[in-house]
Amino acid sequence: MSDERRDDDRSPDFRNVELVTTNGEGNEKAYPVTLRDTSGTGLGGMYVGQEALSPTATFVLRDAEESDRRVRIVWTKRVAEYVQMLGLEDSEN
């Protein structure tokens, strides 16, 4: 990924959400994520947990303040043993 996304205006936006994925049997799995900021091109977040989140999976961002929306992970960076920073963007329907 190029660093040009970091040039976008970013607004601090700390709130707790869930990234939800559904397996082939229709079972949901939710991962707690803290959003850190938003920009015109996406969202920045932090996930604390043991599982690695797959950039190839499709997720629904479930937020109490907004309606659910489909997102994809653009990048991840492990910054501690159980902490991953995430770059997210809306996925096309």
Contact 5, 87 (CB under 8 A): yes
The per-residue pLDDT for range 33-77, each reduced to its tens digit, is: 999 988 877 899 999 999 988 888 889 999 887 889 999 999 999
DSSP annotation string for 58-78: -EEEE-SSS--EEEEEEEEEE
- Count of domains in the chain? 1
pTM here is: 0.79
Q: Which residue has the higher pLDDT, 41 or 12?
A: 41
pLDDT score of 19? 95
> Does residue 1 belong to any structural domain of this protein?
no
| Strand, helix or coil for residue 24 | coil
> Does residue 46 belong to any structural domain of this protein?
yes
Tokens of 55: 């950039």
CA–CA separation, 79 vs 30, rounded Å?
21
Owning domain of residue 61: 8-90
18: nearest Cα among 55, 57, 50, 45: 45
Q: Residue 78 pLDDT more than 90? A: yes
Residue given tokens 């937020």 in the structure block:
63
pLDDT score of 8? 54
pLDDT score of 3? 44
